[in-house]
């Protein structure tokens, strides 16, 4: 347990999944008010790559998202609601778990559906049973970066009865020839009641498959936003797109705009 300024991050070690047939750690951020009012319940944000979220309290990269510091600050500044954040650690099967199709080039992929079930059927019930959460979809969000952004979008879109809010940060929509964009284009159901954040940096990569002077990461993000707009989601209200000039594909850059994401999703 790590405490600073009243908030805390609680670690759940070796959380065992029957669905994934493996174990992983989970980190749970609790705001300062959590231990002050036993009758209060909180919105929950589920995030992937949990070992990269919290600064100075576990092994891994020295460059983190600074999730605790940013959330503490925004709560103190009265810019966002008090929230719980659940960081789900990845493992050596990350690519398999964060994608829903196998790609021969990478010799990997395809367990994203199981990973979604793992979160919905195992992690969320555990969190809801052990912490004071607001369990409804309106107060439940899912977010991640890169492949974590891809799987967040997949889960939020396909399980919108569980998650209303989706954060796709520098999402790898390119996976398997942009199959997720094509899937949304084909969607003919009722308009989804969602709140979506998508962002991309202009310096995340150099690949430009269209030879149009725009890197693929930005092209794909723009394409997804365009498709969602055509499906009826309103710009700046139901879908927010941020294009970051010279933004790169790393935790440092994601940390610098995490506050904007939180304010959009959890503004008071």
Can you tell me the distance from the alpha carbon of 101 to that of 113, in angstroms, rounded to the nearest whole number? 9
Q: What letters, b where the CB count within 10 A reaches 16 and e where it falls short, cover 87-109?
A: bbbbeeebbbbbbbeeeeeeebb
Structure tokens at 115: 């990973």
**Closest by CA position to 54, among listed 68, 41, 72, 34:** 68
**Each residue's pLDDT tens digit, 132-184:** 999 999 999 999 999 999 999 999 999 999 999 999 999 999 999 999 999 99
- Position 57 scores a pLDDT of 62
Can you tell me the distance from the alpha carbon of 17 to that of 41, in angstroms, rounded to the nearest whole number? 26
Tokens 């994601």 map to which residue? Answer: 254
Instruction: Give the domains, in start order, of the chain with CATH numbers.
Output: 2-266 (3.40.50.1820)
Burial label for 56, CB within 10 Å (0-12, 13-18, 19+), is exposed
- 195's enclosing H/E stretch is strand 195-201
**Closest by CA position to 163, among listed 128, 136, 145:** 136
pLDDT, mean over the chain = 95
**Confidence class for position 265, pLDDT limits 50, 70, 90:** very high
DSSP three-state, residue 58: coil
If you average pLDDT over residues 94-108, what whole number do you get?
97
**Closest by CA position to 142, among listed 131, 132, 161, 130:** 161
Tokens 């498709």 map to which residue? Answer: 227
**Confidence class for position 3, pLDDT limits 50, 70, 90:** very low
**Each residue's pLDDT tens digit, 209-247:** 999 999 999 999 999 999 999 999 999 999 999 999 999
């Amino acid at each position: 347990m790590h405490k600073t300024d009243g908030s805390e991050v609680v670690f759940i070690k070796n959380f065992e999944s029957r669905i994934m047939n493996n174990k992983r750690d989970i980190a749970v951020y609790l705001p300062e008010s959590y231990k002050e009012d036993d009758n209060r319940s909180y919105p929950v944000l589920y995030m992937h790559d949990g070992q990269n979220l919290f600064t100075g309290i576990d092994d891994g990269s020295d460059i983190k998202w600074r999730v605790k510091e940013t959330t503490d600050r925004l709560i103190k500044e009265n810019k966002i609601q008090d929230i719980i954040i659940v960081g789900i650690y990845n493992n050596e099967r990350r690519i398999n778990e964060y994608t829903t199709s196998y790609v021969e080039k990478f010799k990997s992929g395809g367990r994203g559906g199981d990973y979604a079930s793992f979160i919905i059927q195992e992690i969320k019930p555990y969190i809801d049973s052990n912490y004071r959460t607001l369990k409804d979809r309106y107060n439940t969000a899912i977010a991640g970066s890169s492949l974590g952004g891809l799987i967040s979008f997949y889960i939020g879109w396909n399980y919108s009865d569980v998650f209303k809010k989706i954060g796709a940060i520098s999402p790898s929509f390119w996976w398997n020839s942009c199959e997720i964009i094509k899937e949304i284009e084909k969607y003919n159901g009722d308009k989804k009641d969602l709140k979506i954040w998508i962002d991309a940096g202009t310096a995340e990569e150099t690949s430009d498959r269209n030879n149009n002077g725009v890197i693929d990461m930005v092209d794909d993000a723009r394409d997804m936003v365009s498709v969602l707009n055509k499906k009826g989601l309103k710009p700046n209200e139901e879908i927010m797109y941020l294009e970051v000039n010279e933004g790169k594909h790393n935790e440092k850059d994601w940390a610098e705009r995490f506050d904007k994401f939180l304010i959009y999703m959890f503004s008071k």
